[in-house]
Amino acid sequence: MHIVIPDDYQDAIERLRCFSLLDGHDVTRYREPAPSFEELVDRLRPAEVIVAIRERVTFDRALIARLPNLKLVALVGRNATTIDYAACTEHGVMVSRGESNSPTSPAELTVALIVASRRNIVIEAERMRRGGLPYTLSHRLRGSTLGIFGLGNIGSLVAQAGVGLGMKVLVWGQAGSAKRAADAGYDVAPVKRRCSNDPTCFRCMFGCGLTPRALWVPMTSR
């Protein structure tokens, strides 16, 4: 079976223990994205199976129609917004999803971004590389408010980290999130409350799909 992995951007697939499951199959990996649509078609045309690691390739109708050998698109994650499922169905292409989504990585990255933003790490690190001295005013996280919309698996880990850093946690969300917040001892915000005018409030959204109930989210970008 010919398997194509179009976005092994970390060049790490062959080092995974699970890669041995593909022994005996013809596997082609690409680390760099295709420079054009035609190049992408050329790369994927031989594939019977495509393993999509990230949503870096848009499997729209135009692409699916150009892949006559394709039988399966295998997702590493649980869902993707870049796949035309109707086109896959019409062309007899199955789509499978992974079940190993870990909340740890996105939670840790979220905390890292919060710290970097509050402490101006990106700006100051670049100045240090140029031999300069710090010139921005950084702020503490302790005493700040961490606003979380959606207290699911990821949001819960971020909330725990925020508490560990001395932040106050304020949760928005539907009934499940509100109950989990109350059980954890976090403040639950009324649905119309905003913290956009509070300079000490960080707002994070987790697991919020584009449903009609989610479109009112009371947050503004900073």
Is 50 within 8 Å of 44 (Cβ atoms)? yes
Indicate the length of the chain as a whole number. Answer: 222
The number of beta carbons lying within 10 Å of the beta carbon of residue 104 is 10
Decide if pLDDT at 54 tops 60.
Answer: yes
Sign of CA dihedral 100, 104, 106, 107: positive
Q: Which of 76-85, 142-151, 188-197 has the highest mean pLDDT?
A: 142-151
Of the candidates 111, 81, 122, the residue with the CA atom closest to the CA atom of residue 210: 81
Task: Give the whole-angstrom CA distance, residue 100 versus residue 78.
Answer: 8
- What is the rounded average pLDDT of the residues 8-24? 90
pLDDT at 32: 93
Pure H helices in the chain = 37-44, 61-64, 85-90, 104-119, 121-129, 153-164, 175-184
- What is the rounded average pLDDT of the residues 182-205? 69
Which own/partner pairs from 31-36 qualify as long-range (CB within 8 Å, at least 24 positions apart)?
33/6, 33/7, 34/6
Longest dimension (CA), the chain: 60
Identity of residue 214 = A
Of the candidates 209, 205, 111, 106, the residue with the CA atom closest to the CA atom of residue 149: 205
Is 145 within 8 Å of 167 (Cβ atoms)? yes
pLDDT at 201: 57
The string of pLDDT tens digits covering residues 80-113 is 889 999 999 999 999 998 876 788 988 999 999 9
Q: Provide, rounded to the nearest whole percent, the portion of the chain with pLDDT above 70.
A: 85
